[in-house]
Structure 1
């Protein structure tokens, strides 16, 4: 039986107050999730944090946030996609994790404010994610990036976007990626694994919540589409080396394990890490999980060396 870390217990207890997000509208859920700026002695000092507006394929404009550590030579670049079930989340919700990642990995981190469902359903968030990668690849030298060291990363729904973007890049003659880093990614919209039965209620991401997110993202007829459920991809041999970080008490644990195995069976170098005693969505919730987020970032930095 899973023994939760005390900070996970504290977080779960606090979530019992108020109406669950999956019983309100997406707009109401977003309004309830304002993120306070991270203030801590462990907060790193970076050279700059700048917002950059770009145009995507349909003519819309989205914003990237570029985190640059102190450097005197070109740095690796990590394109980061935030979590939030494709329905909420933004540059601010990913801000603390991106600051830490830039500092600990000594990389320029580019966080992507892709458009959200249900106003912008699948495939629009995916298109925004891929178009952002193309923009970064084409401009990274201008902001100090090393074009030979480009990685995609993301948490939860952002991890889902990151790995589909990696697949598209590898099969459409897109940018060459050094690696993909996936923090408890959605890899199979199914809801039937053992981990759903074990952790589907009161562990941070309920089964009802995952269904709510998925139904806002796309029609149920698309749940088996490999660009929604990348575990369904037929051929993943061309994927870059991969790190998958799983929270032990997470409904997505089993599908992430299956995805890691699929990649390994295809000959992809995979590091699959389980974070014991932690729940879905811990990454960057700094009021509760500062130490766990730092621990995760250090593992990522080591992997990317």
Structure 2
């Protein structure tokens, strides 16, 4: 008889703002207590990507934190442009908190994470949750996030040897934010928000060979200025495409989440499925 895999994955469909919303749950198979919950948003520039793209990150976080990880298959542009994706993110967060206990999770210990466009959605969700009085989010981990549709803080792609170009970013934002004024909305552009106070502690992970690392680090500065505990880690020699599956980056994320979700004197509840 083979032992169970360390992590089990289960696909679910829940009601979303505009129809069914697909989720994939990752659980450590040997968990004996209720686990903290991490919502994960995949990358793809707002126009692509799927739950499969979150698999490596979600599996690692579920095993190493450990946590119940909920990957969200949010709306994609151009078929469903802004604000569909952040509304899906908020709906998934609300559903997850309401049903966490039955899934082996602890709704009082919720974090969000995401890479690329998913990093934008994770950051936007912390703003939405604060503005709408819930759900409470204890931590955010942003991995190579796209945070600035104005693209005024992009790095020099040639100098950085970046695999991601300004032209690609512009094309993604054009489809995600078809109306120019949407680029000024803080849920589309967390970097331009002037209200970072009260957001959850953040880890921002960037890659040296990525035009986005400069804007992500600007966001870290804004969070710090607003009094939000914030840690920034830039990985040398790594590019945008490989950052989300880079093992040292994943280890940094798991360590951060462990510290925020397990080491904060939160009592562990027996698992009762």
TM-score, structure 2 length as denominator?
A: 0.88
| Alignment match, 2:65 | 105
SS in 2 for 1:115: coil
In structure 2, list runs of 5 or more residues that go unmatched. 260-273
| Alignment match, 2:123 | 163
| Alignment match, 2:144 | 184
Contact 1:188 1:224 in 2 (8 A): no
Contact 2:144 2:243 in 1 (8 A): no
Whether 2:196 is the aligned partner of 1:236: answer: yes
Alignment of 1:1-305 (within 5 A): 45-58=5-18, 60-69=19-28, 70-193=30-153, 195=155, 197-199=156-158, 203-219=162-178, 220-284=180-244, 292=246, 294-304=247-257, 305=259
Contact 1:199 1:251 in 2 (8 A): no
Q: Give the C-alpha shift of residue 47 in structure 1.
A: 4.3
Contact 1:80 1:109 in 2 (8 A): yes
Q: Give the C-alpha shift of residue 202 in structure 1.
A: 5.9
Q: Give the C-alpha shift of residue 208 in structure 1.
A: 0.7
Q: Give the C-alpha shift of residue 276 in structure 1.
A: 0.9
Rounded Cα–Cα distance in structure 2 between residues aligned with 1:104 and 1:73 = 15
Rounded Cα–Cα distance in structure 2 between residues aligned with 1:194 and 1:149 = 34
Query: CA offsets, 1:76-104, max 9 Å, x none?
Result: 11000000001000011111111111111
Q: Give the C-alpha shift of residue 192 in structure 1.
A: 3.1
SS in 2 for 1:93: helix
| Alignment coverage as a number of residue pairs | 253
Contact 1:200 1:206 in 2 (8 A): no
Rounded Cα–Cα distance in structure 2 between residues aligned with 1:65 and 1:211 = 30
Rounded Cα–Cα distance in structure 2 between residues aligned with 1:129 and 1:75 = 20
Q: Give the C-alpha shift of residue 281 in structure 1.
A: 2.3
Contact 2:207 2:243 in 1 (8 A): no
TM-score, structure 1 length as denominator?
A: 0.79
Q: Give the C-alpha shift of residue 45 in structure 1.
A: 3.4
Q: Give the C-alpha shift of residue 184 in structure 1.
A: 1.1
In structure 1, list runs of 5 or more residues that go unmatched. 1-43, 286-291
Rounded Cα–Cα distance in structure 1 between residues aligned with 2:154 and 2:71 = 33
SS in 2 for 1:132: helix
CA root-mean-square deviation: 1.7
SS in 2 for 1:126: helix
SS in 2 for 1:271: strand
Rounded Cα–Cα distance in structure 2 between residues aligned with 1:187 and 1:200 = 21
Q: Give the C-alpha shift of residue 221 in structure 1.
A: 3.0
